[in-house]
Amino acid sequence: MPQAQVGALQEMSANTSVIETDAVVIGAGPVGLYQVFQLGLLEVKAHVIDALPYPGGQCAELYPDKPIYDIPSVPVCTGRELTQNLISQIAPLGATFHYSQVVNSIQRQADGRFLVETSQHTRLLAKTIFIAAGVGAFQPRTLQLDGIEAFASKQLAYSVQDPAAYANQNVLIVGDNEAALQCALRLCSGNADGHPHKARSVTLVHRRDAFTATPATTERFRALVAARHLQFLVGQPTGFDEAQGVLRALRVTTPDAITTAVALDTLLVFQGLSPKLGPIAQWGLELERKQLVVDTEMFSTSVPGIFAVGDINTYPGKKKLIVCGFHECVQAAFGAMPIIRPGEKVMLQYTTTSTKLHKVLGVESKA
């Protein structure tokens, strides 16, 4: 790990607490969840980090309602059902989930453990790491306008943490999905206690007069447009105006090629999420075409103690199927045990017959 900074821990732990753990799983998609299960059977409680605010990964984000037919012994299930079933399965195993954050850095410490830090300042000191990051962390699709990213985290945002921050502002929203329309409705009406957070004006821009939001949300949105509580403009963002480092307006070009400058204080963009490999590429792990190279004995990356399972890894014969990721979790969990509990002989036990596993799973053993 070329960029490991030994000793950084002591400096940085002055202010924030560090969670010590045997295992960190990066990614709460189906494979990350099953990694929690396999670790749990070995009595290893994992901490799980995911960019999304909920479990399921691609299954939750890309195809929650679409049928999957190739999970073994499950003739058909949706991405949502698959996720829910895995969440039920791991419920007894006591994992801790850290949602809505990505891992920014992994640093090997002097004692061999890894300091994992996330975008929400969660800090974990882990004996082992399991990267189950699939196609990468789901992050907002950015607005493709040259130079506009300079306003990110100032006047440009891709999510709303605190609607009160936009009270009495002119807010321009770009997008047609549920998040975009919900945001428009929320800022337009303020909160339930007398609307103190109501924006001064809310304008939503989308390239055509149709939405991917749910019919109910779309109906409420159109009603507020009709009542002139908010504005809807059909057109594409094609530029912006700034003055003295302040974003003043977004230029929107309509289908009949007229460009309007829409004045704004804040620009909120909701164009969905797309997966990004992100900082994984900077962790010093061997990559091959953006995949982490692993062995097939324990699915270890080139850095001992860091394993990779699921769509993010590659090895001869690799097929990017959920069922293959599930298998990899088994061997990765066993492969990690010499690091987690050195010197202990770990035996494979069967959930059907092992009273020890029945205890771990919270089910009664039958005589």
The site for its own copies (CB under 8 A) is made up of 30, 34, 37, 41, 63, 66-77, 79, 82, 85-86, 88-89, 296-298, 315-317, 319-324, 326-328, 330-331, 334-335, 348, 351-353, 357, 361, 363, 366
What are the residues facing 260 on neighbouring strands?
252
Residue number, 17 or 88, with CB nearest to its own copies: 88
Residue number, 40 or 175, with CB nearest to its own copies: 40
Secondary structure of 85-122 as H, E, C letters: HHHHHHHHHCCEEECCCCEEEEEECCCCCEEEEECCCC
Q: How far is the CB of 97 from its own copies (least distance, A)?
A: 18
Residue number, 73 or 161, with CB nearest to its own copies: 73
Q: How far is the CB of 206 from its own copies (least distance, A)?
A: 22
Taking the C-alpha atoms of residue 15 and residue 20, their distance in angstroms, rounded to an integer, is: 16
Residue number, 78 or 231, with CB nearest to its own copies: 78
* H/E element, 247: strand 246-253
Residue number, 99 or 334, with CB nearest to its own copies: 334
Taking the C-alpha atoms of residue 132 and residue 38, their distance in angstroms, rounded to an integer, is: 13
Residue with tokens 């090895």: 315
Q: How far is the CB of 358 from its own copies (least distance, A)?
A: 8
Residue number, 219 or 297, with CB nearest to its own copies: 297
Inter-residue contact 69 to 323 (CB < 8 Å): no
Secondary structure of 271-308 as H, E, C letters: CCEEEECHHHHHCCCCEECCEEECCCCCCECCCCCEEE
Q: How far is the CB of 85 from its own copies (least distance, A)?
A: 4
3-state secondary structure of 314: strand
Instruction: Check residue 340 and report its DSSP letter.
Output: H
Taking the C-alpha atoms of residue 111 and residue 129, their distance in angstroms, rounded to an integer, is: 15
Q: How far is the CB of 297 from its own copies (least distance, A)?
A: 4
3-state secondary structure of 269: strand
Q: How far is the CB of 68 from its own copies (least distance, A)?
A: 5
Residue number, 64 or 163, with CB nearest to its own copies: 64
Q: How far is the CB of 65 from its own copies (least distance, A)?
A: 10
Q: How far is the CB of 337 from its own copies (least distance, A)?
A: 12
Residue number, 44 or 268, with CB nearest to its own copies: 44
Q: How far is the CB of 181 from its own copies (least distance, A)?
A: 23
Handedness of CA 131, 132, 135, 138 (dihedral sign): negative
Instruction: Check residue 207 and report its DSSP letter.
Output: S
Radius of gyration of the chain (CA): 24
Q: How far is the CB of 219 from its own copies (least distance, A)?
A: 22
Residue number, 38 or 118, with CB nearest to its own copies: 38
Retrieve residue 266's tokens: 């804040």
Residue number, 97 or 315, with CB nearest to its own copies: 315
**Helices and strands (H, E) in the chain, number of each type:** 8, 22
Handedness of CA 322, 328, 330, 332 (dihedral sign): negative
* H/E element, 139: strand 137-140
